[in-house]
Amino acid sequence: MSHKPLKLIIIAGSKGRVTVKYPYQEPLITPEFRGEIEIDPAKCIGCGACVKACPPNALELLESEKEVILRYFVGRCIFCWRCIDVCPVNAIKGTRNFELATDKHTDLYTLVVHTRTTCEICGKPFETTRMQRYIAEKSPVTEEYASICPDCRKRLLAETVSARRVGISEHKE
């Protein structure tokens, strides 16, 4: 029987105690750690890019007549931060917060509520006000064009093309 097993005592002595009395002491996380996200409601335009990228559907877009709600349910979040990658206006910020347990399940939901604009022509609601403003700023379209819903835009385009082909407008009274 060799003496090597006894070396354990020396190793344990030199290393000391490595366990930490969490939660009475600080948890060991590095600055790189990915925790929950925070959505800045002032910047969010309600485009839904984060919803499309989110693998477990923690971010959802709930649509009703007058408003569009971006709902973040931290219970499903896998802290991958893909939403932060794809947000066009950098409205989402990552934190190092992971101590999220609570006894009120409503704490787990964050809602960002957006108003919707209605189409100039058909009156149906189609996108958020902020998104409309964002498009008008960023892309070379007139504000008039940006306030028409996609269905009406398609119809207008079809009409214009057919008018050019036939020479008369379909809707001539």
Partner 1 sequence: MLNLEETTKYIELASKSGGQAKIEGDTVFITIPPDRLVDVADTIFNKYNTSFRVCAGVDERPLNGHFSLVHLFTDDKAGLYVAVKTYLSGESPVAPSITSVVPAADWCEMEARDLLGIEFTGRETYRLVLPPWWPSNLYPLRKETPYNYRPEPRLESEKLGYSREYGVIPLGPYHPALHEPEYFELYVEGERVVDVKYRGFHVHRGVEKLAESRMSYQQVNFLAERICGICGFVHSTCYALAVEKAAKLDVPERAQFIRSIVLEVERIHSHLLLLGVAFHLLGYDAGFMHIWRIRERVMQLAELLTGSRKTYGINLVGGVRRDVNEEKKQKTLEALRELGREFKNFIEVAISVPQVKKRLTRSGVLPREEAVKLSVEGPVARASGVNKDARRDLPYAAYKYVSFKVPVYTEGDNLARVLVRVDEVFESISIIEQLLDKLPGGSILLTDFEIPEGRVGVQVVEAPRGGDIHYVVTGKGAPYRWRVRAPTYANIPALRVMLRDQPLADAPITIASIDPCFSCTDRVVVVRDGRIEEIKLTQLVK
Partner 2 sequence: MYTLTPLIVLYAIIPVILDGVERKLKAALQSRIGPPVAQTIYDLLKLVLVKEIKTQPTILYVYLSLTSSIVTGLASLYYITLYALRGDQVDMFYALALFAITTSTHTVTPLIVPNPYSFIGGIREVVLGVVNEAALITSISLYTIMAQRSVLKSTQWVTIIAVALVALTAFIASYVASSRVPFDIAEAEPEVASGIFVEFSGSVLALNIYSLLLRRLIVKLLVLAPTVGLLYGFSLTGLLVVLLLLPATWVTYATVAVILGRSRVDVAPLTLAKIYIALILISITVLLVQAYA
Please give the helix or strand (H or E) that residue 161 lies within, else none: helix 150-166
Cis peptide bond N-terminal to 56, omega within 30: no
Q: Of 13 and 140, which has the nearer Cβ to partner 2?
A: 13
Task: Report yes or no: 113 and 44 within 8 Å, Cβ to Cβ.
Answer: no
CA R_g for the chain: 27
**Binding residue for partner 1, selected from 4, 104, 105, 171, defined by CB under 8 A:** 4
The residues that bridge with 37 in the sheet, in sequence order, are 94
Total binding residues toward partner 1, as defined by CB under 8 A: 27
Burial of 152 (0-12, 13-18, 19+ CB in 10 A): middle
> Binders of partner 1 among 46-65, rule CB under 8 A?
52-56
Q: How far is the CB of 6 from partner 2 (least distance, A)?
A: 6
Q: Give the other-Cβ count within 10 Å of 112's Cβ.
A: 18
**Binding residue for partner 1, selected from 26, 32, 65, 173, defined by CB under 8 A:** 32
Which pair of structure tokens corresponds to residue 173? 């009274």
> Binders of partner 2 among 112-151, rule CB under 8 A?
none
Q: Does 164 bind partner 2 (CB under 8 A)?
A: no
Q: Does 30 bind partner 1 (CB under 8 A)?
A: yes
> Binders of partner 1 among 72-111, rule CB under 8 A?
78-82, 85
Q: How far is the CB of 11 from partner 2 (least distance, A)?
A: 8
Which pair of structure tokens corresponds to residue 136? 């008008």
Residue ranges binding partner 1 (CB under 8 A): 1-2, 4-5, 7-8, 11-12, 15, 18, 28-30, 32-34, 52-56, 78-82, 85
